[in-house]
A and B are shown apart, each in its own frame.
Chain A
Amino acid sequence: MTDPPAPRHIPDRLDKPLSSAIFSWEALLVVVAVAIFVVNSFASPYFLDPWSLSDLTFNFTEKALIALAMALLIISGEIDLSVAAIIALASTMMGMAVQAGAGTPALVLIGIAVGLGCGAFNGLLVTRLGLPSIVVTIGTMSLFRGVAFIVLGDQAYKGYPASFAFFGQGYVWWVVSFELALFLIAAVIYWFVLHRTSFGRRVFAIGNNPVAAQFSGVRVDRIKFILFCLTGLMSGIAAVLITSRLGSTRPSIAQGYELEAITMVVLGGVSILGGAGSILGVVLAAFIMGLVTFGLGLLNVPGIVMSIFIGLLLIIVIALPIVWRRLRGGRFA
């Protein structure tokens, strides 16, 4: 039994050759996105208008912001089901602040701070007490939204200041909304952190083998804690955006967002078991989900029927490579 020869050259970056990029998950997503785009533009004459396309982005930017942080969390082998509940709680707190006469900067600060606080709470429960994140966040999901229900009951907060509307309704340049610009900037930051920093490499290491990562000197719990805080932070930011866009807060706000954000992440090629994935994939998946829902919306397909397409897309895109691999006799395995 001899050891395999050690590779002479170990690159700093794991860049893949072009040939593998063509067969990559991201390439598949691009094909799917282009196909949906083309179908949409044939199906509806209103689709190819810059303002339609701009409206399209409002469908997904808030969820996609969360999906960016969720991608890192899932790559590290954890999950956060409480993100939508964090939005509800943060939005409720912003509503309370408005009643107390808070101005726009204070509102934004409160929304983000509540999100960060909730994320830290999840992180503490998971890392300090060593609890499984899926159950913890099912619990905090009920808890956070439950607090929103206790505060609001069947009421709603309104009366947000006019300047607050910019975050969810404003445009920074021509058809580029503030939400879209923020998402693109966040995507670049997350791409850099995950794919170009040692922090990102550690996230992958933890997802692949937490024990080995620990023995390699990675502070597993601390990084997981940071990732939960980041997910909370992004949920807080999403809360600011959605509250600003809707101009009101109900305790049922953003219901079901957690599953849509996770769908984006998984559709984006992040392994639900952890250890693999890319930000580019998540961004593409966000656009695909936006394209599907918006395109079907132009065709007057009701939202609930669109969800069938999203569900099918999720399963088919995951199943396709597996079936493909099996048909090719495991050559691409």
Chain B
Amino acid sequence: MKNFLKYREIWLLAAIAMLIGLISTRFPGFANPGNLRQVFNDTSILMILALGQMVVILTRSIDLSMAANLCFTGMVVAMLNAAHPAIPIPLLIVIALLVGLVLGAINGLLVWRLNIPSIVVTLGTLTIYRGATFVISGGAWVNADQMSADFINFQRAAFLGIPVLSWIALLVIALFFLVMTRTALGRSIYAIGVNPTASVYAGIDVGRTKFIVFCISGMIGGLAGYLWISRYVIASVEVANGYELNIIAACVIGGISIAGGIGSVGGAVLGALFLGIISNALPVINISPFWQMAISGSAIILAVVLNARGERRQGRIILRKAEAA
């Protein structure tokens, strides 16, 4: 039982349950399964973005360009769809993944080959990708009436009573879970975050692994690009402006240490859900949505304070073990 309580995910789950309980006292319908399914669906995009960001943060890096990547890739697929409505949606998704991959690979190459700190690289590419969106679109919007019905409805179609968007999120969560817990890549990602020097001696190619995580976050950004545009049915240069910080916030609330090495798929998902529940709940309990920013800000600060406690304790335990050995 004591071991069980050590998992941050359990505490986060409890916090989310409490949050839902609290909201239910003001709006009883909130906790019913239909509504929770809706909340999950609304949060799907943030969840998969948080997972992409998580693998980057685990390696002591950061990807500030994810939202700009989302914006660029979303514009590319929206323009493709507007110009050639015949392109099937699965192919468009593959294109989105590839475009995102290229943008991520650019970040990854700069970090890997030139050893530039990731915060600098992605700060630069953030403005470049968003500027490039303007260049390819000429500043014009792609509106709902220019998009094909398939483009808009694909993620809304229900399969076994759950929208495709939610299925995509579940699939991504499952994939990340497998990679992080069952593959050598997942293990290397954690190892690099905990101790990059030791990782080198353990035979891990740190630079190449960082390149791979940026490719992953890039592909996720691309996928989210299509999902975002088809969900909010408008593509413009302003799409997801500043959203990179929401993604990082979800990770932080989910207990992913910005210092690398600590964090889990479950944490990232729950962190995103926490933010998603707040943004969904505010309108129904009659609190102005303008409160959302301040609330998530407070949640982030609270989460860091709690994370710092947990991490410090863990550090001491490892040290004691090493001394005993």
A-side interface residues toward B, CB under 8 Å? 81, 125, 129-132, 134-136, 138-147, 149-150, 152-154, 251, 255-256, 259, 262-263, 266, 272-273, 302, 304-308, 310-312, 314-315, 318-319, 322-323
Contact = CB atoms under 8 A, between A and B. Distances in A.
Given A305-B131, A308-B135, A315-B116, A138 B294 contact: no
B125 to A, nearest CB: 6
Contacts of A153: 288, 290
Given A150-B288, A266-B120, 16 more contacts: A131-B308, A138-B245, A138-B252, A139-B299, A141-B245, A141-B297, A142-B249, A142-B293, A146-B293, A153-B290, A272-B117, A272-B120, A306-B131, A312-B128, A314-B120, A318-B124
Contact of A319 (B116, B123, B288, B295): B116
A172 B298 CA distance: 42
A140 B301 contact: yes
B294 A143 contact: yes
Interface of B is mostly: helix
B285 to A, nearest CB: 15
| Interface-central residue, B135, B241, B245, B304, by most chain A CB under 10 Å | B304
B250 to A, nearest CB: 11
Contacts of A140: 297, 301
A273 B116 contact: no
Interface string B191-202: 000000000000
A131 B305 contact: yes
B124 A315 contact: yes
B110 interface: yes
A142 B296 CA distance: 7
B27 interface: no
Contacts of A256: 242
A179 to B, nearest CB: 24
A125 B301 contact: yes
Interface of B: 62, 64, 110, 114-117, 119-121, 123-128, 130-132, 134-135, 139, 237, 241-242, 245, 248-249, 252, 258-259, 288, 290-301, 304-305, 308, 312
Given A143-B301, A302-B139, A310-B127, A318 B120 contact: yes
18 contacts: A81-B245, A134-B62, A139-B297, A139-B298, A139-B300, A143-B297, A146-B294, A146-B295, A149-B290, A149-B291, A256-B242, A263-B123, A305-B131, A307-B127, A308-B128, A311-B125, A314-B123, A323-B114
A304 B114 contact: no
Given A139-B301, A140-B301, A146 B296 contact: yes
B124 A314 contact: yes
Contact of A149 (B124, B134, B135, B293): B293
Nearest to B292: A146
A266 to B, nearest CB: 6
B131 A304 contact: yes
Contact of B127 (A130, A141, A150, A308): A308
Contact of B248 (A125, A138, A318): A138
Minimum-distance CB pairs A-B, first 4: A146-B294, A142-B297, A143-B297, A146-B293
Contacts of B305: 125, 129, 131
A273 B126 CA distance: 20
Contact of B258 (A132, A142, A149, A251): A132
A310 B300 CA distance: 30
Contacts of A266: 120, 123
Contact of B297 (A146, A311, A318): A146
Nearest to A307: B127
A139 B304 contact: yes
B120 A144 contact: no
B313 to A, nearest CB: 13
Contacts of A146: 290-297
B124 A312 contact: yes
Nearest to A263: B123
Contact of B252 (A135, A251, A311, A314): A135
A154 B258 CA distance: 33
A323 B249 CA distance: 34
A307 B293 CA distance: 26
B139 A144 contact: no
A142 B300 contact: yes
A319 B304 contact: no
| Interface-central residue, A146, A256, A322, by most chain B CB under 10 Å | A146
B4 to A, nearest CB: 27
A147 B294 contact: yes
B125 A315 contact: yes
Contacts of B110: 315, 319
